[in-house]
Structure 1
Amino acid sequence: MGICFGKPAKLANASSTQLVGTGTEPVKTKADPNSGIKNGSLQPFNLDSTISTNLKSFSFNDLKNATKNFQPDSLLGEGGFGYVFKGWIDENTLAATKPGHGKVVAVKKLKTESFQGHKEWLAEVNYLGQLHHENLVKLIGYCSESDQRLLVYDFMPRGSLENHLFKKGVQVMTWVTRIKIAVDVARGLCFLHNLDANVIYRDLKASNILLDSDFTAKLSDFGLARDGPSGDKTHVSTRVVGTQGYAAPEYIATGRLTSKSDVYSFGVILLELLSGKRAMGDENMGGNDETLVDWAIPFLTDSRITRIMDTRLGGQYSKKSAQAAAAVALSCLDPDPKQRPVMKKVLEDLEEALIPIDSPKSIARAKRQNAVSGQSAYSQKGVKLGLEPK
């Protein structure tokens, strides 16, 4: 369930169809995911002290006042487990303020009848209460009062990547913006995967990538995130959850979850950025049952890359940079997870693609490579071309 949309939006669509079993396995967090549930009802509970000290505890009445009592005109979006409302808090004290005054925030309100949503709510508090990175949405605070469960986030004025790619009437994003968004997402995943206790995001999709005013991309919605394998373990065994079209095939088939599952999902996101088509069920791919991966793979390995490019870009991109991005996507989508690159390598390749060929940094790198290989700086294979049309 995406959050913090700039404009009202329904999250349910062909690209966000949940796989069976969504959220039904135990969530691996410091607090018991079933804590707060008694006799079939949600009850108050205590969060881990190391988490609660990082977050603001709001009263339910405070958040009612901050969101105009959750009126429809404050509604930003709706997900499977709750609603997201626009609210206001004091920028310094974080106290709730009257609507229209102070810092704008997004308030996610869990449906009181959603016990399964409570587990996702708790996972979100535990992960985002401890993890901080410029490419993760910032969780400001929470409310746990009686049967009410709410979360308060930084407001993301540009809304979701899903809206910018697929919603009619939204201005088309440039090629440079799309690749920068891909780099931001890769940085967020790289951060998660390289923690001492690595975290697998598990629900990467366009609706869970939110954009700030500068189109900086941030991962949101950590309700399905899981701690990765530890010790000599190679994977985490779970019941399959996620979104059709984005989930890695080996994870769907076996329930064995690794960081390479996120890498596959990132490849799908990259294809969406290249093509402007949904991960699944896009009417322009010839059928509702065909995935974007199945449709695009034949065009990723040769000069036909232009066949999959978003026609709304009007050709305003370098063909060689598009081929470089397509090569990254293809490596991420390898059917064998062992052959997929780690996110650190993916990030390096995409960051190189952002460097124009005539920039001082690119020229310096080419000269260093030339000194070693004796090749012409501009013919050096490792130098990536810029993003602008040539």
Structure 2
Amino acid sequence: VSVTMEHPGCVNIGSLTSALPVIPYRKLTDLHYISKGGFGTVFRAQHSDWRTTVAIKCLKLDSPVGERERNCLLKEAEVLHKARFNHIIQIFGVCNEPEFFCIVTEYMTNGSLDELLHEKSMYPVVAWPLRLRVLYEIALGVNFLHNMSPPLLHHDLKTQNILLDGEYHVKIADFGLSKWRQLSISKGSGSKPAEMGGTVIYMPPEEYEPNRTRRADVKQDMYSYAIIMWEVLSRRIPFEDATNPMQIMFSVLRGTRPDTGLDSLPADIPSRETLINIMTCGWTANPDERPSFLNCLKELEPMLRRFDEIDILEAVLEVKRSKFKRPLGPGLTTPTNSKRMEGKSLKQHTTPWPVRQQLYLRIRFLFFPGYGYVPARLPYHLKSLPRILGEEY
């Protein structure tokens, strides 16, 4: 496969063998807002023909995209479509319509690494075996991108772009979308300060250093990965005391990096000193001194092998239980409790109102889109649910 640069930001993919699938917008139904990112808005949707859930990343524009720019975006998406790997998000195709321009990808049920690390009410414990597997799989995914021909840089690696599937395996997203981000800022509403600050946290100093002459290369992704390593091991936000992005930038240029002492990185971290060494080498100011992802993998592999498969499975099961049992607010129950009512008859209660109130709250949780818990089948006594809800609500 030959991929050459036609002009800055665009890729000549004339020699690629398979065309990028074009997905009609009318096939995408039941859209639900997920988030707003660096190049537009992300929704969850259903593909009416495939009968499956997908994610759509829409480029939100305040002005039309010219033909040259649109072709450039399509070529960039075509290259991403070729990046097929276990730990890379799969791109199904694009919607290429005048008022709706987006990339369609597989949908990840467990959100992002950012949520796993920082939603501590949902995930009070994330065991070391799972954390190390996450770090290993991130390195595997980025190493694959760097070994493409030519190398594909992520250029925006952060915990929000590292997604997690149903078993909490890593899927790297939003890689190689430099042109999409450029157009989102230039033709859209631009980046919010909070979003910019989130990106600056992971940005190497050579990215914003005045008069830099060095071209972007794979060592920039290594700096971002080193910051992510610290975040995964500490479960804290890097530079959390900074009040604005400029403060982070000046601190990094002066050599400040996240704290690697025991207050941030506890003593019980497996292979703690080796991990800290990878981190500190990865975020060094001189890009040439940062290790490759291949060398990083060689260090991480023996660490992961020290855990039995059952250790990792138990760690995954623990976070699944935590998510399953998370608090839902006053009066709401968990799925575990809701199962207790399956064998009970409504006739056992003397007054209907408390029963109907409790029933409504439980069903609202079971079918609420953000929670994703739907029972395989409803118990027989819930057949009267439409009538109950119609009478009382």
Whether TM-score is above 0.5 comes out as: yes
Alpha-carbon distance in 2 for matches of 1:175, 1:166: 15
Equivalent residue number for residue 273 of structure 1: 232
Map of 1:249 onto structure 2: 205
TM-score by structure 2 length? 0.62
Cα separation, 2, equivalents of 1:213 and 1:357: 21
Residue 307 of structure 1 corresponds to which residue in structure 2? 263
Change (3 A) 1:195 1:358: closer
Q: Percent identity?
A: 27
C-alpha spacing 1:51/1:307, structure 2 compared with 1 (3 Å): farther
Task: From the superposition, tell whether residues 357 and 129 of structure 1 become closer, same or farther in structure 2 (CA, over 3 Å).
Answer: closer
Report the secondary structure of 1:29's partner residue.
strand
Matched, 1:28 2:20: no
In structure 2, the CA distance between the partners of 1:76 and 1:188, relative to structure 1 (3 Å rule), is same
Contact 2:139 2:297 in 1 (8 A): yes
User: Which residue of the partner structure matches residue 364 of structure 2?
Assistant: none
Q: Which AA in structure 2 matches 1:132?
A: R
How far residue 263 of structure 1 moved from its aligned partner, in angstroms, is: 0.9
The CA RMSD measured in Å over matched residues stands at 3.2
Q: Following TM superposition, by how much is the alpha carbon of 1:195 offset from its aligned partner in structure 2, in angstroms?
A: 2.0
Query: Which residue does 2:113 correspond to in 1?
Result: 161
- After TM superposition, list the pairs within 5 Å mapping 1:128-277 onto structure 2: 128-171=80-123, 172-224=125-177, 243-253=199-209, 254=212, 256=214, 257-277=216-236
In structure 2, C-alpha distance between the alignment counterparts of 1:130 and 1:326, rounded to whole Å = 34
> Which of 340, 353, 367 is residue 290 of structure 2 equivalent to?
340
Aligned-residue offset at 1:130: 1.4
Partner of 2:256: 294
In structure 1, distance between residues paired with 2:232 and 2:71 = 31
2:78 — aligned with what?
126
Cα distance between partner residues in 2 of 1:85 and 1:205: 19
In the TM superposition, residue 354 of structure 1 has moved relative to its aligned partner by 0.9
Say if 1:182 and 1:270, in contact at 8 Å, map to a contact too. Answer: yes
Between structures 1 and 2, the one with greater helix share: 2
Larger C-alpha radius of gyration, 1 or 2? 2
Alignment of 1:58-137 (within 5 A): 58-63=23-28, 66=29, 68=30, 70=31, 74-89=32-47, 95=49, 102-113=51-62, 121-122=73-74, 124-137=76-89
Deviation of 1:177 after TM superposition, in Å, equals: 1.2
Give the equivalent residue in structure 1 for 2:337: none
Distance (Å, rounded) in 2 between the aligned partners of 1:210 and 1:139: 14
* Counterpart AA for 2:21: K
Asked which structure has the greater RCO (Cα within 8 Å, sep 6+), the reply is: 1
Amino acid at match of 1:88: Q
Matching residue of 2:188: none
Partner of 1:324: 274
8 Å CA contact 2:40, 2:60 repeated in 1? yes
Which AA in structure 2 matches 1:278? Answer: I
Structure 1 residue runs of 5 or longer lacking an equivalent are 1-24, 32-47, 97-101, 227-240, 300-304, 310-314, 360-390
Mapped partners of 1:29, 1:76: distance in 2:
30
In structure 2, do the counterparts of structure 1 residues 218 and 118 end up closer, same or farther at CA, with 3 Å as the change threshold? farther
Deviation at 1:52, TM superposition (A): 5.7
Q: Secondary structure of the residue that 1:76 maps to in structure 2?
A: strand
- Residue deviations 1:107-132 (CA, integer Å, cap 9, x gap): 22221426689689546513321111
Residue 141 of structure 2 contacts residue 172 of structure 2 at CA under 8 Å; is this kept in 1? yes
Q: CA deviation at 1:339?
A: 1.4
1:260 and 1:155 mapped to 2: Cα distance? 29
Q: Does 1:57 align with 2:22?
A: yes
Unaligned runs of 5+ in 2: 1-6, 180-195, 310-393
Total equivalences in the alignment: 274
CA distance in structure 1 between the aligned counterparts of 2:295 and 2:204, rounded to whole angstroms: 19
> Counterparts of 1:51 and 1:169 in 2: how far apart (Å)?
48
**CA distance in 2: counterparts of 1:272 and 1:221, whole angstroms:** 19
